[in-house]
Amino acid sequence: MSLPEPSADALATSHALSHRIAADIAAADGWISFAHFMQEALYAPGLGYYAAGSRKFGADGDFVTAPELTPLFAQTLARQLAELLPQTAGNIMEFGAGTGRLAADLLLALDALGCAPVQYFIVDLSPDLIERQRDTIARLAPALLPRVQWLAALPKTFDGIMLGNEVLDAMPCELVVRQQDGRLQQRGVTIRDAVQSMGANLMGAATLTPSGGFPLLVKYLDARENLSVQVHPSPAYAAANPGAHLKTESWYIVHAEPGAVIYKGVRPGVTREQFAAHITDATVVNDLIAVPVRAGDFHHLPSGTCHALGAGVVVAEVQTPSDTTFRVFDWGRTERALHVRQALECIDFSGKTDPAPVRASEGERTLLVSTEFYAAAELNLRAGDPHTLRIGGRAPRVWMLLEGAGEFRAEAGEFDPVPLRTGDTALFPAAMPAARFTPTTPTRVLEVLLPHREPPTGLRT
């Protein structure tokens, strides 16, 4: 037996919800808790499974539970509750009450047994279901409705009996796994999960990493002290060492304290042998090009560029998602290992590194860099002037809001408005419908695009 095809409205709601969750993951540096995922999947306003308004229970819905079929379920349960309630303060708390049919039948059965509860609490997060529960109880047990109270969270104290009929699929909860050493590790939902569930609707014609992951990593870095001097594998080193991966990155300077610098490349004339000797005597920083920085500077760091963030600098970083890093100097800190031999094989000693930054022009959009891995542009948007975003199925796009605030709205109303403010990161799936961002204040955005082929067919936008 095959399942029926979802309706066009159901598919549209599903895609809008997927877009919302993907944006949440991107804004949280690529990871959200399982409880956060459940909250969105089930109760996102107008989109979540229990909050989108469609019928879930009964012949016209997705499933039927025992209380919906017959009052015998509640009447049988009531006999057990009648024995236990006198041993408590006489209260009942039900989690996830569905249509309210179990609550109504229990109230009637307990009242018939002369053991009606003092209070019947219902813990539920769905406004749609709460309204339906209230209507059901008012229709079937109107005299007992005043005993019912709805809660959105557990009370600090409770004396009574708790009921949970199929509760785990309705309440957001944390997911943990026990490691081999006995430690508990919290599980969550990542960009990789979004890639697997959304497929081409997220990625369009963009290419995944060889391991099937998202081909980009973006984050904010706040260097309150000098960060380690390091280098990522050069193309030659990566070709000769299969376990090593290229890592090209770029920094947009969001904030810089007076006198702050970054270190970008090796000074012309410094040899590999001199550099190695200066690592040993801890003077290697003098071999690096110290570049004074100010907010609005953009620096690109191809693989093989020796680099470090100086103290007092905040950057928006865009990079390919490789974790192969070779550390050569850590400012006297000894907690982390150095990788001097590997680094010396990777560092570019040609003296051709350009230390000069790129800065945006006066126009609305300035291309800052274009590589085989990604392109980055700065958008300068005026308050009140809508900016239209049309992706058209080509590839996902990332926005990092460097300054300002505003709101995204779908041009045809396919998803709820999404507010963005300074420091937020948003991931826009390839299949996202045309949308407009209206700044409420002057706004600067770092926009990151992925290379792509022609958009695939069959995308739902």
Name the band, by pLDDT with cuts 50, 70 and 90, for residue 453. Answer: low
Query: How far apart, in whole angstroms, are the C-alpha atoms of residue 245 and residue 342?
Result: 13
Give the mean model confidence (pLDDT) for residues 348-359.
90
b/e string for 90-103 if b means 16 or more Cβ within 10 A?
A: ebbbbbbbbbbbbb
Query: How far apart, in whole angstroms, are the C-alpha atoms of residue 255 and residue 252?
Result: 9
Contacts of residue 338, defined as CB under 8 A and 6 or more positions apart, other chains included, come to 279, 327, 328, 329, 330
Give the mean model confidence (pLDDT) for residues 119-128.
88
Q: Give the start-to-end residue ranges of the domains of the chain.
A: 66-169, 217-346, 365-449
Of residues 83 and 20, more confidence is placed in: 83
Name the band, by pLDDT with cuts 50, 70 and 90, for residue 281. Answer: very high
Among 119-123, 226-230, 332-336, which stretch is predicted with the lowest mean pLDDT? 332-336
In the chain, the amino acid numbered 341 is R
Which overall architecture, per CATH, does domain 66-169 show?
Answer: 3-Layer(aba) Sandwich (3.40)
Give the mean model confidence (pLDDT) for residues 64-89.
92
DSSP 285-351: GGGEEEEE--TT-EEEE-TT--EEEPTTEEEEEEE-S----EEEE-TT--SS---HHHHHHH---SS
Q: Is the pLDDT of residue 108 over 60?
A: yes
In the chain, the amino acid numbered 34 is F
Catalytic residue among 20, 327, 394, 397: 327
Provide the H-helix boundaries in 97-199: 101-112, 127-140, 191-198
Q: Is the pLDDT of residue 105 over 90?
A: yes
Q: Using the Cα atoms of residue 20, residue 22, residue 26 and residue 30 in order, give the sign of their dihedral.
A: positive
When the pLDDT of each residue in the chain is averaged and rounded to a whole number, the result is 88
Read off the DSSP letter of residue 87. Answer: G
Name the band, by pLDDT with cuts 50, 70 and 90, for residue 167. Answer: low
Q: Please, are residues 338 and 330 in contact by the beta-carbon 8 Å criterion?
A: yes
Q: Is the pLDDT of residue 20 over 60?
A: yes
Is residue 409 part of the annotated active site? The answer reads: no
Read off the DSSP letter of residue 440. Answer: S
Which overall architecture, per CATH, does domain 217-346 show?
Answer: Sandwich (2.60)
Per-residue confidence (pLDDT) for residue 92, from 0 to 100: 97
Of residues 47 and 285, more confidence is placed in: 285
Kindly report the CA angle at 83 between 78 and 86, in degrees rounded to 5?
110
Give the mean model confidence (pLDDT) for residues 253-279.
96
Q: Is the pLDDT of residue 461 over 50?
A: no
Q: Using the Cα atoms of residue 173, residue 178, residue 184 and residue 189 in order, give the sign of their dihedral.
A: negative
Q: Please, are residues 193 and 203 in contact by the beta-carbon 8 Å criterion?
A: no
Give the mean model confidence (pLDDT) for residues 98-124.
94
Per-residue confidence (pLDDT) for residue 414, from 0 to 100: 65
- Report the share of the chain in percent with pLDDT over 70: 93
365-449: what fold?
A: Jelly Rolls (2.60.120)
Looking at the whole model, is its pTM more than 0.85?
no
- pLDDT tens, 364-402? 999 999 999 999 999 999 999 999 988 877 888 999 999
Q: Is the pLDDT of residue 354 over 90?
A: no
Q: Is the pLDDT of residue 1 over 70?
A: no
Torsion of CA 408, 413, 416, 417, to 10 degrees: 20
Per-residue confidence (pLDDT) for residue 308, from 0 to 100: 96
66-169 and 217-346: identical CATH topology: no
List C-alpha distances in Å: 67 to 63, 126, 240: 12, 19, 65
